[in-house]
Structure 1
Amino acid sequence: MSNSIKEKISNVIRQWDGPLTKELLREPAKYGLGQVPEKLKPDSTTTLVCGFCSTGCGLNVHLKDGEAVNLTPDTQYPVNLGMACPKGWEALAPLNAKDRAKSPMIRTKNGKLVEVDWDSAMKRMVAEFKNVQSKYDDEAVAFLSTGQIVSEEMAFLGALTKFGMNMIHGDGNTRQCMATAVVSYKQSLGFDAPPYTYKDFEESDVIILVGSNLCIAHPIMWERVAMNKHNPEIVVIDPRKTETAVAGTQHYPIAPKSDLAFFYGLANQLIEQGFIQQDYIDKYTNGFEGFVEHVKEYTPEKVEEASGIKADQLQKLVDTIAAGKRVSLWWTMGVNQSHEGVRVAQALINIALMTGNFGRPGTGANSITGQCNAMGSRLFSNTTNLLGGHDFANEVHRTKVADITGVPVDSIPEKMGWAYDQIIDGIASGKIKALWVIATNSAHSWINQQSFRDIIKKLDFLVVQDMYHSTETAELADMILPAAAWGEKTGTFINSERRYGMVKKVKRAPGQALSDFNIFKLVANYWGCSEMFKKWTHPEAVFQMLKACTKDQPCDISGIKDYQMIDSCGGIQWPLLEGEELQDHERRLFADGKFHHPDGKAKFLYEEPRKALEVPCQEYPSWLLTGRGTSSQWHTQTRTKNSSVLTKLYPKDIYVEINAVEARQLKIEPSEWVWVKSRRGKLKARACPSYHVQEGQVFISMHYPECNYLTFPSFDPYSRQPSYKACAVKVSKMEYWE
């Protein structure tokens, strides 16, 4: 970074940082400005958590001349115990990519993106956004955030936009993966509180995996299953015979979108046969009597009609659960990404509650998170709740957050704003005219992709803030802001088991790229609201405020002293209350049977299954299933495609798994190009005949950009999460002239 650029940035921060300036100039890397922190010796090793998935593995990063040059898994970190998946081993490679965004860029009238300095970029962005708000109203500007940046940056963004810039509407891409789990836990347990620890994988004697391809999506968690010494039954409930289903001991290939009927039928049989814990139900739950009446109609015959699972197969699962002393139920996107995902997740919670499988080692209804910091987003992004799990509509909560963060209480809105799909609809209807997209690639990942691309063109101004200038979304942008990546900045992630872990700056960000934290500082200054955020000086200062926000909440971390404590303890799970001694690396919730509703009890929640809005028909006879492809791919591949090692581990071309019998009927040969069509679009893919998918079903990996040109935009009514997992398609042979 040139001295002139550094001076400009320093001058901006100096205007409202006061005493921080000398520290900034002495340790610029601490604030994202180009040097490795002095406290990391030039040739040494430090530990930080991986920046890919929610597992949150500890990695030893090895430095030479102050720069990260290699890494190894941390053998002492309680999450991965010396193991790493292919992505973890290659975590440094994407930082050196040729398509890194190194300078702010603005699209000119001739349509080209040209490099500009930060001063020009900030003036233009602020002018465009303020002009939109002046011409329309404050709600005409919105943001879409991520589960990929550190918690302190998420909090700063959510506070800056909603408190300082008067943006009502903002959401994160965690809406695409975890919103269902959030709502399910809140409604059933009273707070978004995944109860488990990874040790539970080792303690269960029955492990039930629902819509979760653990071997591929979370391979280190599967390694924890492999460490189980209890010879567990590993039950996989999934329409497709996934790698995990092959490795398990029982597989129930239910029909797509039959989950709710299947689990109500399972619950009915457990109740009828007396395999429940009535004492636990009476003492710790509400609503069981109504649930009993509700599931009575879900007989084995009705379950078979809906799901294809025969009565004797259902009975085998009933017997397996009944024989288990420690039964754990785990789910991920196969449940969450559904038109009725909240009620499906709650059907699993209901089964765990009524069998007394809660709060003990090896038990629980356990949602597995997707992104590295989706849990941080759930607590601190100011999208689905006010900072620290508080309620925007609660005056006491708003006052508490205002007092801690130093923002005026009247600047905190009394409502959350729109969810992701509502923001997209707002753009389509002309209510939203400017959009700020941070560390997410909506033009690949959002459902019904062609519609999204048509809608996004209606914006007056689109800003994309990312580590790459080449993402599908950045290619549509009017402005690109270059952001530092994982390993180029400091902060905390929260993993799937609620563990805070450290991210550290071990490498220089390229060119003029800044940490997202410092970009938000610049925006605040140019917007004119920097005085509101005078306490938000650096990431650890924000962490201390977030810690204070959690006090007396279920996620209370007032007992965590500072970053150093997190680092030295190998990460720390929430909650940890002030004065509490940290005695164990792994701590589960609800051991005392006390839940987070006012009466301290959990709720049984249920309703009739909803019909999927699109099902196979004569014209489109197959269900399209989507999911993770390989453990070496990640989301929209913006990072994994920049590792020469990882790209050798997965197919270059998009492929479609089709049942081998149907492939023969259609005279489709392995690896030949075929068409896959839906009502919304079509793609060509390599055919992969297989018995892993049933007749009438096909599977496509979500990592390829073409996939979401097919998907149907339906949403869960409670979580507003998209239903990526099922729509109607037709596979046809490609003629030689096509």
Structure 2
Amino acid sequence: MIQPRTKFRGNLTRNLLPQLLRQHDGKMTRELLLHPGDHGLGMTHESMQADATTTAVCGYCSTGCGLRLHLRDDEAVGLTPETSYPVNLGMACPKGWEALRVLDSEDRATDPMIRTSDGKFAPVSWDHALRLFTTRMKGIQRQHGPDSVAFLSTGQIACEEMAFLGALAKFGMGIKHGDGNTRQCMATAATAYKEAFGFDSPPFTYDDFEQSDCMVFIGANPCIGHPIMWERVLRNHHAPEIIVIDPRCTETAMAATQHLQIRPKSDLALLYAITNHLIACECVDRKFIDKHTEGFEKLSEHVSRFTPDAVAPMTGISADAIRQTAETIGRRKAVSLWWTMGVNQSYEGTRTAQAIINIALITGNIGRPGTGANSITGQCNAMGSRLWSNTTNLFGHHDFKDSADREKVATSLGIDADLIPTEPSWSYDGIMDGIRRGDIRGLWVIATNPAHSWIHQSEARNLLDRLDFLVVQDMYHTTETARHADLILPAAGWGEKSGTFINSERRYGVLKKVRRAPGKALADFHIFRALAAYWGVEDMFAEWTDPEAVFRIMQRASEDQPCDMTGIDGYEQIDRCGGIQWPWTEADAEGDFQPEQQRRLFADGRFYHHDGRARLIVDDLTPMPEAPDEDFPTLLMTGRGTVSQWHTQTRTNKSPVLRKLYPNEAYIEINPEDAAAIAVENGDQVRAQSRRGSLLATAMVTPTVKPGHAFMPMHYEATNQLTLSHFDPHSRQPSYKDCAVRIERA
């Protein structure tokens, strides 16, 4: 258990907004907006002595490591990994070690800024910025209808901020359409879980990395993407079989006992062949299947044609290797199957994820230590986005279309149910299409960078420039998206605000404010509260005074949901317990019972569908939308590059230490045979061209990719100039992992 040496009395930012937007003669005054530096950190805790410490959860990836922050004069001056935190057990990756340094970058957004007539940016007051936001967005809605304004949010801000943003936009501002950048990484997993289990419910806990005797990684490279999870794998004392299914010989694949180096996008066929052989060799748990699943006969019939012999030519994997993998899975006692972006970012990603879930279910590998069909999340709070952002689901993972759900959420929030839309939002690609058609005229972008990260980048940037009004709310004024903005709102970052994150294993962790945001930058929470006041809906959010107050509202809304967290006794308990996994209900907490640190779902074999059974789901294969041809003979894949890079490098490129740990210029991995054919050696400059654009990159000649394949890290600005705009039809997640390119010596 974590025992911080310095306990906070209440929330770090409690009562900050009453200062921020103090009432005077019925008018809103803006003391803190105008002079934020005069109010210190806004902490309402006991005075900290030099060299005090406190704990908080890291804000980079979904692993959710615990960090011990070292304080001097009430401000964090350093950090170390927290040894007793059940996630990382005293470990941290390079990004975590550098989490404070990136806050000190010279390109932090410190003032609201507007684009002037000469195309440059000029600082303005918060009062001016908030009036401009309100006037322009309301004006667009009046002229073009309420649905002409949309927002794009993130998996990077706290749950309470996501909740506030979604409620403010949807119920206060009447903005129907809003989605998050989690659509780019986790929509497939969420959709697959909902259809198979009846709820978006990752079943695992990180202890399963250490309890499995067989681990299968599909389209996942945790050695690079989630290094602390990989450290947990290395702590496994069961001599586990490690099976990697990946078209690249990744760092994780190099450690595998079996590496199935498949042809890109043949994973669904391969998984059906494994399922076929599991059934053929009677390596299935018929008792579990009959009692706890629905659809086995249809599954058996569907995979009957996917024999290892039939699938071998499609995948490039021998029939014997497919049989060996299936028999290994079928005969081990505790098998866990893990996937991430290699599966999710695919035009048939949802069905591939469900094929993984099918294997876990028919072998009875769920609900026990070391088992599960386990999606590794990407962003630090992607799970929070899935539950609380009001994007794909109504608040608390309810349904916009269900009148009972709308009434329940309205009661929890203390609002009129008629304010809640009866239909869900357009997905991210639908919003971009709306801009293309002219239906979306105003866009509010919060803590995300679509001008870099969205598929077919040049078209995405063109669409942003078509908008009548683009607002970007971010830590930095130099992001690719901020360059297109009409208004930039400066936001606080990790360590400069408070709230909670939810990691991949459903664990709530506490984020703490231990530094003052630079200049006039404010926490996203306080920007939302200020906007509520300027928009004229502050009364609707009178209870939303601080993040922990919003946490209590979230608890009310979670009651009787699979994600019920009504038994959590506030931030202090979360911190003291080393995080708390949902669900944790009032009934669970009776008698001051404390939550166990490692809890799995479905130990009783009951799932969240009305009949308690999981669904086994299959589908036909889908042809690759843009296969290589004579003009573009190479198939390009994208993914994570190094441990030290993260997403669009908005933060990691601010650290001089991290920049030394990865190539600063874009590179492309090509096979030695392909390199020889175009007279390219390692380190040469090459031009990669697709039907959408071209770029220059450094050739990395390596056998880690097969002939005819190439790989580029997603972190470089240029990469998405090449990618093809196509999507999984069920989750609407972009397929970043396949497009045809031509590579030539530059």
* TM-score, with length taken from structure 2: 0.95
In structure 2, distance between residues paired with 1:696 and 1:660: 10
Q: Residue 454 of structure 2 is aligned with which of 439, 446, 459?
A: 446
Q: Residue 89 of structure 1 is aligned with which of 94, 97, 113?
A: 97
Q: 4+ residue runs of structure 1 moved beyond 6 angstroms?
A: none
- 2:680 is aligned with what amino acid? I
Q: Which residue of 2 aligns with 1:292?
A: 300
- 1:381 is aligned with what amino acid? S
In structure 2, distance between residues paired with 1:289 and 1:432: 46
Q: Which residue of 2 aligns with 1:618?
A: 630
Q: SS at 1:207's partner residue? A: strand
Partners of 2:214 and 2:241 within 8 A in 1: yes
Extract unaligned runs of 5+ from structure 1.
1-6
- 2:450 is aligned with what amino acid? S
- 1:334 is aligned with what amino acid? G
Q: SS at 2:22's partner residue? A: helix
In structure 2, distance between residues paired with 1:699 and 1:715: 20
Determine if the alignment matches structure 1 residue 428 to structure 2 residue 440: no
Q: Residue 223 of structure 1 is aligned with which of 226, 231, 236?
A: 231
Partners of 1:100 and 1:469 within 8 A in 2: yes
- 1:424 is aligned with what amino acid? M
Extract unaligned runs of 5+ from structure 2.
1-14
Q: How far off is 1:155 after superposition?
A: 0.3
Partners of 1:487 and 1:505 within 8 A in 2: yes
Q: Residue 705 of structure 2 is aligned with which of 693, 697, 706?
A: 693
- 1:349 is aligned with what amino acid? I
Determine if the alignment matches structure 1 residue 632 to structure 2 residue 640: no
Partners of 2:284 and 2:362 within 8 A in 1: yes
Partners of 1:32 and 1:488 within 8 A in 2: no
In structure 2, distance between residues paired with 1:609 and 1:17: 66
In structure 1, distance between residues paired with 2:231 and 2:47: 32
Determine if the alignment matches structure 1 residue 711 to structure 2 residue 723: yes
Determine if the alignment matches structure 1 residue 373 to structure 2 residue 385: no
In structure 2, distance between residues paired with 1:37 and 1:687: 54
Partners of 1:17 and 1:534 within 8 A in 2: no
Q: SS at 1:698's partner residue? A: strand
In structure 1, distance between residues paired with 2:16 and 2:555: 32
Q: How far off is 1:38 after superposition?
A: 3.3
- 2:643 is aligned with what amino acid? S
Partners of 2:253 and 2:259 within 8 A in 1: yes
In structure 2, distance between residues paired with 1:319 and 1:345: 20
Q: How far off is 1:416 after superposition?
A: 1.2
Q: How far off is 1:393 after superposition?
A: 1.1
Q: What aligned pairs does 1:531-542 form with structure 2 within 5 A after superposition?
A: 531-542=539-550
In structure 2, distance between residues paired with 1:657 and 1:16: 62
Give aligned-pair identity as a percent: 58
- 2:459 is aligned with what amino acid? S
In structure 2, distance between residues paired with 1:11 and 1:584: 39
Q: How far off is 1:40 after superposition?
A: 5.9
Q: Cα–Cα, structure 1 residues 127 and 274, in superposed 2: closer, same or farther, change >3 Å?
A: same
In structure 1, distance between residues paired with 2:66 and 2:151: 31
Q: What aligned pairs does 1:256-267 form with structure 2 within 5 A after superposition?
A: 256-267=264-275
Q: Residue 598 of structure 2 is aligned with which of 562, 586, 593?
A: 586
Q: Residue 45 of structure 2 is aligned with which of 38, 45, 49?
A: 38
Q: How far off is 1:247 after superposition?
A: 1.4
Q: Which residue of 1 aligns with 2:474?
A: 466
Partners of 1:33 and 1:514 within 8 A in 2: no
In structure 2, distance between residues paired with 1:363 and 1:8: 45
Q: How far off is 1:579 after superposition?
A: 3.3
In structure 1, distance between residues paired with 2:594 and 2:349: 35
In structure 2, distance between residues paired with 1:32 and 1:192: 41
Q: Which residue of 2 aligns with 1:4?
A: none
In structure 2, distance between residues paired with 1:394 and 1:424: 27
In structure 2, distance between residues paired with 1:12 and 1:652: 41
Q: How far off is 1:14 after superposition?
A: 2.5
Partners of 1:576 and 1:582 within 8 A in 2: no
Determine if the alignment matches structure 1 residue 599 to structure 2 residue 606: no
Partners of 1:148 and 1:374 within 8 A in 2: yes
Deviation by residue 1:407-435 (Cα, 9 ceiling, x = unmatched): 22111111111000000000010000000
Partners of 2:632 and 2:690 within 8 A in 1: yes
Determine if the alignment matches structure 1 residue 683 to structure 2 residue 695: yes
- 2:340 is aligned with what amino acid? T
- 1:182 is aligned with what amino acid? A
Q: Residue 511 of structure 2 is aligned with which of 503, 512, 517?
A: 503
Q: Give the number of aligned pairs.
A: 724
- 2:209 is aligned with what amino acid? F
Q: How far off is 1:387 after superposition?
A: 1.1
In structure 2, distance between residues paired with 1:506 and 1:17: 34
Partners of 1:37 and 1:505 within 8 A in 2: no
Q: Which residue of 2 aligns with 1:663?
A: 675
Deviation by residue 1:155-214 (Cα, 9 ceiling, x = unmatched): 000000000000010000000000000000000000000000000000000000000011
In structure 1, distance between residues paired with 2:201 and 2:496: 30
Determine if the alignment matches structure 1 residue 190 to structure 2 residue 201: no
Partners of 1:16 and 1:534 within 8 A in 2: no
Q: SS at 1:457's partner residue? A: helix
Q: Cα–Cα, structure 1 residues 81 and 16, in superposed 2: closer, same or farther, change >3 Å?
A: farther
In structure 1, distance between residues paired with 2:18 and 2:288: 60
Q: SS at 1:52's partner residue? A: coil
- 2:708 is aligned with what amino acid? G
In structure 1, distance between residues paired with 2:315 and 2:39: 53
Q: How far off is 1:111 after superposition?
A: 1.0
Q: Cα–Cα, structure 1 residues 118 and 8, in superposed 2: closer, same or farther, change >3 Å?
A: farther
In structure 1, distance between residues paired with 2:305 and 2:161: 49
Q: What aligned pairs does 1:715-730 form with structure 2 within 5 A after superposition?
A: 715-730=727-742
- 2:61 is aligned with what amino acid? C
Partners of 1:32 and 1:484 within 8 A in 2: no
Q: How far off is 1:35 after superposition?
A: 4.2
Q: SS at 1:638's partner residue? A: coil
In structure 1, distance between residues paired with 2:131 and 2:422: 30
Q: What aligned pairs does 1:37-436 form with structure 2 within 5 A after superposition?
A: 37-39=44-46, 41-43=48-50, 44-436=52-444
* TM-score, with length taken from structure 1: 0.96
Partners of 1:265 and 1:295 within 8 A in 2: yes
Q: How far off is 1:225 after superposition?
A: 0.3
Q: SS at 1:471's partner residue? A: coil
Q: How far off is 1:67 after superposition?
A: 1.1
- 1:101 is aligned with what amino acid? A
Q: How far off is 1:302 after superposition?
A: 2.0
How well do the aligned residues superpose, as a CA RMSD in angstroms? 2.0
Partners of 1:673 and 1:685 within 8 A in 2: yes
In structure 2, distance between residues paired with 1:533 and 1:673: 55
Partners of 1:204 and 1:327 within 8 A in 2: yes
Q: Which residue of 1 aligns with 2:5?
A: none
Determine if the alignment matches structure 1 residue 482 to structure 2 residue 490: yes
Q: How far off is 1:9 after superposition?
A: 7.5
Q: How far off is 1:32 after superposition?
A: 9.3
Q: Which residue of 2 aligns with 1:3?
A: none
Q: SS at 1:241's partner residue? A: coil
Partners of 1:625 and 1:698 within 8 A in 2: yes
In structure 2, distance between residues paired with 1:511 and 1:456: 28
- 2:411 is aligned with what amino acid? D
Partners of 1:407 and 1:533 within 8 A in 2: no
Q: Which residue of 1 aligns with 2:10?
A: none
Q: Residue 684 of structure 2 is aligned with which of 672, 693, 700?
A: 672
In structure 1, distance between residues paired with 2:495 and 2:587: 32
- 1:39 is aligned with what amino acid? E
Q: SS at 1:132's partner residue? A: helix
Q: Cα–Cα, structure 1 residues 102 and 17, in superposed 2: closer, same or farther, change >3 Å?
A: farther
Q: How far off is 1:152 after superposition?
A: 0.2
Determine if the alignment matches structure 1 residue 457 to structure 2 residue 465: yes
- 2:323 is aligned with what amino acid? Q
Partners of 2:68 and 2:82 within 8 A in 1: yes
Question: 697-706 vs 396-405, which deviates more?
Answer: 396-405
In structure 2, distance between residues paired with 1:343 and 1:678: 27
In structure 2, distance between residues paired with 1:14 and 1:413: 31
Partners of 1:334 and 1:725 within 8 A in 2: yes
